[in-house]
Amino acid sequence: MSKNILDYETVDLDVESGELVVIDQTKLPGNIKIIRLKTAKDIWDAIYLLKVRGAPAIGVAAAMGLYVLALNHKNDDNVTFFKKLEEYRDYLNSARPTAVNLSWALARMYRLAQSMKNEPVSVILDALRDEALTIKKEDIEVCRAIGEYGLSLVKPGDGILTHCNAGQLATCKYGTATAPIYLGYERGYDFKVYADETRPLLQGARLTAFELHSAGIDVTLICDNMSATVMKQGKINAVFVGCDRVAANGDTANKIGTSVVAAVAKYYNVPVYICAPTSTIDLDTPTGDQINIEQRPGTEVTEMWYKERMAPDGVKVYNPAFDVTDHSLISGIVTEYGIAYEPYTESLKKLKEQGR
């Protein structure tokens, strides 16, 4: 029997060869290509160019990537080793500014190394390897827990709308926003899923529709501007989306277009649930206004995915990768420790403390 996309590891560490192994998601759905990364530039490019993407998967890839790069200095003295480790940490952290999991995972790895600074480099490397593998294991457990809590918010036969890709391809298994869908599928819930295509990078069309269809789930692809229509027709009972950063007040940054979906859902009285691990909650960011929104190249809008350029030469392009959904539009934030509700300044703080 041939493998489908769910049979591959989104992010993995080849311990024997000392390589970061990921699915090149820029090639999907037409070509499942596995790439092996060993240099700082290749790992940075893989994150920036969205070969590996989705906040949790980026965090896992960064942790494993930092370990892979640290291996290059296994014969160095401790002073040189830590100097290079800090350089690699800062370099990888510069790849994408919005997803907090990137900086969270790198900080966690570096903090562990710092706690062992007087140990031999070989011992520190072993600990970094184990920590990277633990982060991956935790991601799988976290996503399943998010799925269980999310599943409590819907009932069999419901219609669910999702935007972008917060599925297995954005994590190590289950996904965040799709975790309730996968668990529901296992239990015969017979969900009807609608996936926004998600312009301009088409993560909904290329990734979410691809993986859900591969799993045998009833999924229908729609253009981004069709969400109001399906809500008005009564086809949507809940919206589940992922998140790249949660501010202390409950504002959330997710793929561009999420705030539009949330505003429309509010009008049609459809609940919107943000699915996010507690590692994505950033209590140091008071509101969504302080979230640094990544700006992407204009060619993603005018040329990418087209055989011919689909806009006039020289036209100005504004291409923010994310938008911020105001907390007032969000019905609940689903984490591995439970569901946060208004006032988010209190509920998110409690959940974050559980995570610590």
CATH T-level fold of 146-355: Rossmann fold (3.40.50)
- CATH tag, 5-143: 1.20.120.420
Nearest to 167, CA basis, from 192, 147, 189: 147
Sequential DSSP letters for 211-265: HHHHTT--EEEE-GGGHHHHHHTT--SEEEE--SEEETTS-EEEETTHHHHHHHH
How far apart (Å, rounded) are the C-alpha atoms in residues 277 and 101? 9
Q: Are 64 and 136 in contact (CB under 8 A)?
A: yes
Q: Are 142 and 336 in contact (CB under 8 A)?
A: yes
Please report which helix (H) or strand (E) contains residue 134, including its range: helix 121-151
pLDDT at 355 over 90: no
Query: What's the pLDDT tens digit per position in 260-309?
Result: 999 999 999 999 999 999 999 999 999 999 999 999 999 999 999 899 99
Q: What is the pLDDT of residue 2?
A: 74
Residue 288 tokens read as: 């969504």
146-355 matches 5-143 in CATH topology: no
Threshold 0.85, pTM exceeds: yes
Query: What's the pLDDT tens digit per position in 216-265?
Result: 999 999 999 999 999 999 999 999 999 999 999 999 999 999 999 999 99
Query: What's the pLDDT tens digit per position in 75-127?
Result: 999 999 999 999 999 999 999 989 899 999 999 999 999 999 999 999 999 99
How far apart (Å, rounded) are the C-alpha atoms in residues 220 and 216? 12
Contacts of 260-263 spanning 24+ positions with Cβ under 8 A: 260/224, 260/227, 260/323, 261/161, 261/163, 261/196, 261/227, 262/325, 262/326, 262/329, 262/330, 263/329
Q: Are 90 and 44 in contact (CB under 8 A)?
A: no
Residue 158 tokens read as: 């419901």
Nearest to 162, CA basis, from 190, 193, 199, 205: 193
Give catalytic status of residue 24 as yes or no: no
With b for 16 or more beta-carbon neighbours within 10 A and e for fewer, the 3-28 pattern comes to: eebbeeebbbbeeeebbbbbbbbbeb
Nearest to 325, CA basis, from 291, 294, 297: 291
In the set 12, 158, 244, 251, the catalytic residue is: 244
The proportion of the chain whose per-residue pLDDT surpasses 90, expressed as a percent, equals 97
Beta bridge partners of 124: none
Pairing relation of β-strands 159-162 and 11-14?
A: unpaired
Query: What's the pLDDT tens digit per position in 310-324?
Result: 999 999 999 999 999
Residue recorded with tokens 């799709």? 178
Q: Which residues contact 120 (CB under 8 A, 6 or more apart)?
A: none
Residue 108 tokens read as: 């966690």
pLDDT bin (cut points 50, 70, 90) of residue 142 is: very high
Q: What is the pLDDT of residue 164?
A: 98
Q: Where in the chain are the domains?
A: 5-143, 146-355
Q: What is the pLDDT of residue 1?
A: 60
Q: What is the pLDDT of residue 99?
A: 82
